[in-house]
Amino acid sequence: EKVREAVDGEGRTVFSFEFFPPKTEEGVENLFERMDRMVSHNPTFCDITWGAGGSTADLTLDIANRMQNMVCVIPPSISLLYSIEYYCCGENDLELCLLEVLDLVVLPAITIWSADYSFSEYISGDFKEISVETMMHLTCTNMPVEKIDHALDTIKTNGIQNVLALRGDPPHGQDKFVQVEGGFSCALDLVKHIRAKYGNYFGITIAGYPEAHPDMIQGEGGATLEAYSNDLAYLKRKVDAGADLIITQLFYDTDIFLKFVNDCRQIGITCPIVPGIMPINNYKGFIRMTGFCKTRIPAEITAALDPIKDNEEAVKAYGIHLGTEMCKKILAQGIKTLHLYTLNMEKSALAILMNLGLIEESKVTRSLPWRRPANVFRA
Ligand code: FAD
């Protein structure tokens, strides 16, 4: 299904997680394990990035497919299952603890717990199969239209209906975006192409920049009013061309984000605008990312980080506190959706959601029994 409907259709607060393709095979397996735990909290969707310069095309396609097609059969009494599992983690003999709780537990639940999924076929009604709605990022960098269509055809075949259409950054070592022969020069043209070739099959998300795109920012003081207005007008053209959801670039000044939403509404952008929240996990990473994106850092954040910048744990704890406060302020304005740039790490993102009361503390380290298809694109 398209995530746009879920994002603004239900009236409750929803959240999503972004991941990126790891560099090693082991990293990919670790990511899937982490994902199993994280998606157990029921995000509205998860997205996977497209490496700079198309460097991770096959891996992104593979991860996207496996993410979309991972399923989990939830038995009728899943909370009871957790309690059995907890019992068995200790010294207790499995049979004994099953006997102890048997009068409380329905048989199908035990069967599922012991991973015999085939049994679910014989049980009617109460079992629920859940999956993870996936969004794949796609950029124009080094992508002639045939390659773009190959990627889109592949995800379509695998049931993915959500694309984040981007121009992309220049490949490593180059500082200007160069349109590849037979490719597109900007996200606007990619959006137009997807709509023209695939009709309404895909939900199309685009990137929005609360402080204007860094290319529009010269010098220290942020974008000029003119550059900011041009950027907004261009954003509207992307929406008018068929995009139906905006995810924003990271920001640390919540007022800038709220003003951006208001400015978008003023010029007639009506689709949901999802704030991209990047918890600060590490001081150097924070400085690198905000430098690259030309993000404004409020003075109080600099003042809070300066004395603790060499203490990784303290920085993480501050990142969770700051992320929580930013999200509270955003939610208080009636915005009901949060997008977490996880950087493939779970603790800070989950801690923020827990602080907001959006996920249950008791489940933070538990994972549901997910199954996903085998690797299909890589050897
Ligand atoms: P565009 O929308 O094409 O625009 C870039 C800027 O150029 C515009 O803001 C505008 O100022 C200017 N511009 C372009 N065309 C016009 C025009 N016709 N008229 C006027 N102005 C124009 N990068 C990756 O490599 N992989 C990813 O997976 C990835 N995911 C991202 C996810 C999000 C949510 C965000 C915010 C960014 C992501 N990026 C990713 C980074 C992104 O690729 C870069 O920011 C890139 O430089 C711009 O991409 P875009 O789609 O915003 O470009």
* pLDDT value at residue 126: 55
Residues 292, 264 contacting (CB under 8 angstroms): no
pLDDT score for 335:
95
Residue 220 annotated among the catalytic residues of the structure: no
**Per-residue pLDDT at 127:** 59
How far the first Cα of the chain sits from its last, in Å, is: 29
How high is the pLDDT of residue 362? 61
Name residue 333's amino acid.
Q
Q: Rounded to an integer, what distance in angstroms lies between the CA atom of residue 63 and that of residue 191?
A: 23
Residue 375: both structure tokens together: 């690797």
Q: What is the largest CA-CA distance in the chain?
A: 72
SS3 content of the chain, % helix, strand, coil (to 5): 50, 15, 40
Pairwise CA distance, residues 207 & 165, whole Å: 8
> What DSSP line would sit under 131-164, residue for residue?
E--EEEEEE-TT--HHHHHHHHHHHHHTT--EEE
Q: How far apart are CA 176 and CA 164, in angstroms?
A: 21
DSSP string of 81-108, one letter each residue: HHHHHHHHHSSS-HHHHHHHHGGGS-HH
Out of 18, 133, 211, 346, which one is annotated catalytic? Answer: 18
Instruction: Give the integer Cα–Cα distance in Å for 69 and 111.
Output: 23
What is the Cα–Cα distance from 351 to 357, expressed in whole angstroms?
Answer: 10
- pLDDT for residue 75: 56
Residues contacting residue 225 through CB under 8 Å, at least 6 positions apart: none
Determine the Cα–Cα distance for residues 349 and 34; give it in Å rounded to an integer: 12
What pLDDT score does 102 carry? Answer: 42
The contacts found for 101-104 with CB under 8 angstroms, 24 or more apart, are 104/80
Tens-binned pLDDT, residue by residue, of the chain (379 aa) = 899 988 876 678 999 999 999 999 999 999 999 998 898 888 999 999 999 888 889 999 999 999 999 887 665 544 444 444 444 444 444 444 444 444 333 333 443 343 333 333 333 345 567 788 999 999 999 999 999 999 999 999 999 999 999 999 887 788 888 899 999 999 999 999 999 999 999 999 999 999 999 998 887 888 999 999 999 999 999 999 999 999 999 999 999 999 999 999 999 999 999 999 999 999 999 999 999 999 999 999 999 999 999 999 999 999 999 999 999 999 999 999 999 999 999 999 999 999 999 998 765 555 666 777 776 544 3
What are the tens digits of pLDDT across the range 192-247?
Answer: 999 999 999 999 999 999 999 999 888 788 899 999 999 999 999 999 999 999 99
For residue 76, what are the contacts with CB-CB under 8 A and spacing of at least 6?
106, 108, 109, 126, 127
- Taking alpha carbons only, the member of 182, 245, 222 closest to residue 3 is 245
Q: Is 246 helix (H, G, I), strand (E, B) or coil?
A: strand
Residues 6+ apart with CB under 8 A from 258: 329, 330, 333
Q: State which ligand 1 atom lies nearest to the alpha carbon of 52.
A: 25
- Which residue's structure tokens are 């180059």? 174
Nearest-CA residue for atom 36 of ligand 1: 249
Question: For residues 194 and 208, what is the distance between their CA atoms, to the nearest angstrom?
Answer: 18
Of 102, 101, 170, the closest CA to residue 139 belongs to 170
User: For residue 36, what pLDDT is reported?
Assistant: 87
Contact (CB, 8 A) for 306 and 334: no
In sequence order, which residues have a C-beta less than 8 Å from that of residue 164 and are 6 or more positions away?
Answer: 47, 135, 136, 137, 138, 205, 206, 207, 247
d(CA 297, CA 267): 27
Say how many Å lie between the CA of residue 46 and the centre of ligand 1.
Answer: 20
With residue 72 as reference, give the H or E element that holds it.
strand 71-74
Q: Which of 178, 185, 206, 234 to mutate to test the pocket of ligand 1 (most atoms within 8 A of CB)?
A: 234
What is the Cα–Cα distance from 379 to 373, expressed in whole angstroms? 14
CA-nearest residue, atom 53 of ligand 1: 167
Residues with CB under 6 A from ligand 1: 49-50, 52, 137, 139, 164, 166-169, 186-188, 207, 209, 213, 215-216, 231, 234, 238, 247, 249, 276
**Ramachandran sector of residue 191 (left: φ over 0; alpha: ψ -120 to 50; beta: rest):** alpha
Q: What ipTM describes this predicted complex? A: 0.97
DSSP H or E segment with residue 248: strand 245-248
